[in-house]
Amino acid sequence: MSVVADVIQRYLPAKSKTTPSGWQSFNAVCCHHNGTTRDTRQRGGLISNPDGGVSYHCFNCGFKASWQPGRNLSYKMRKLLQWMNVPDSEISQVSLEVLRENEGVEAQERKLQLPVFNSVPLPDDAVKITDITDFDRYSMNVLEYMASRHLNVDDTDYFWCPSLGYRDRLIIPFYYDSRIVGWTARSVVPGKKPKYLSETQPGYVYGLDDQSYNKVFAIVCEGQIDAIHVEGCALGGSEISDQQAMLLNRLQKQIIVVPDRDAAGSKLVERAIELGFSVSMPNWSREINDIGDAVDRHGRLYTLHSIATCAEESPLKIRLQAKKWFN
Ligand SMILES: [Zn+2]
């Protein structure tokens, strides 16, 4: 256990319970400091990560604080410790110890380390789609959306949440090493803004857990739903950060990037070339703009097959194909 996790455990409110996913919940200590009424429903949540990092989330007032090895103690983390009644002298000592540990690590070296992802909770009251026993019109809408996008309940753990802000959304959890480290909630109502509500961490790549040992290549696309269709990975945007590239390289597979057919996708192609990745721009018909469209039109199997067979490694050939693909 890290010094930070240790001090928190020692000052944790006596009445706490642990959920199956490893969250300790107890009456939040933050709310009345943030102008909200004091929590009496155990809406404060704490999780310890395997590397010694800790995250605190309050479902009452929304306060969050976390710490990861390699980082110094943040202002919010210090506040949290104060609110947990840790004496100031002890907070200073923990902070000093963390600082000393970090000084031993060269800053440059730290930058090249693999990113660390903290566990995060799904929206409050989220339930697995397969655990819903009583469907109302909102959860039915979500099911209908899934059917219309060819999403199946055995693709991944889809969630749904009955609360006002989320009931019109399909929630997709982001896993990393089997832990939930983020999520996206996609609107199922056409035209509803924002289309996505998400919680994500820098450097994260969706779908890495599914790139099993026996797969020869990993398909990398922009959006999570597209990734689900082809059991691939998603960048969560049209850029590949150095940390994302590091995580993809670590798979030790051929990486096949499938760009969306827009200006951002064309930049993604250049970045893929720079990283030595393959790019696939299948000869789909003109009105197909991404993997989702291709699946709607031709089904998953054909889409996957066309991506695999059109994967190109040579920068010259990739650039020639890109001219046609983006034209
Ligand atoms: Zn709070």
Per-residue pLDDT of 301-317, as tens digits, reads: 999 999 999 999 999 99
CA-wise closest residue to 77 among 36, 30, 120, 44 = 30
107 alpha carbon – ligand 1 mean position (Å): 34
Distance (angstroms) between ligand 1 centre and the Cα of 86 equals 17
Indicate the pLDDT class of residue 65, thresholds 50, 70 and 90.
Answer: very high
What's the angle, vertex CA 149, arms to CA 143 and CA 153, rounded to 5?
50
CA of residue 62 to ligand 1 center, whole Å: 6
Q: How far is the CA of 121 from the centre of ligand 1 (A)?
A: 15
The DSSP call for residue 27 is: -
Distance from residue 278's CA to the centre of ligand 1 (Å): 47
pLDDT computed for residue 167 by the predictor: 94
Report the relative pairing of strands 179-187 and 196-199 from DSSP bridges.
Answer: antiparallel
- pLDDT, average across residues 57-84: 91
Helix 3-11 and helix 88-103: axis angle, to 10°? 160
pTM: 0.74
Is the pLDDT score of 107 beyond 60? no
Distance (Å, whole) CA 156 – CA 173 = 8
Q: How far is the CA of 63 from the centre of ligand 1 (A)?
A: 5
Sign of CA dihedral 206, 50, 81, 98: negative
Report CA(68)–ligand 1 centroid distance (Å).
21
Q: How far is the CA of 256 from the centre of ligand 1 (A)?
A: 44
Cβ-in-10-Å burial (0-12, 13-18, 19+) of 127 comes to middle
Query: What distance in angstroms lies between residue 29's CA and the mean position of ligand 1's atoms?
Result: 6
Q: How many CB atoms lie within 10 A of CB 156?
A: 20
Distance from residue 224's CA to the centre of ligand 1 (Å): 31
pLDDT digits (tens, 9 = 90+) for 209-235: 999 888 889 999 999 999 999 999 999
Side chain identity, residue 224 = Q
- Indicate the residue type of 36: T
- Distance (angstroms) between ligand 1 centre and the Cα of 170 equals 26
- Give me the mean pLDDT over the 114-139 stretch: 91
Whole-number Å distance, alpha carbon 238 to ligand 1 midpoint, is 35
Is the CB of residue 149 less than 8 Å from the CB of residue 88?
A: no
Q: For residue 110, what pLDDT is reported? A: 54
Distance 240 CA to ligand 1 centre (A): 35
Q: Average pLDDT, whole number, for the chain?
A: 91
Instruction: Tell me which residues have their CB within 5 A of the ion that is ligand 1.
Output: 28, 30-31, 58, 60-61, 63
CA of 27 to the centre of ligand 1 (A): 9
Per-residue pLDDT tens over the stretch 257-292: 999 998 899 999 999 999 889 999 998 988 898 999
Q: Quote the CA–CA distance of 200 and 206 in Å, as a whole number.
A: 10
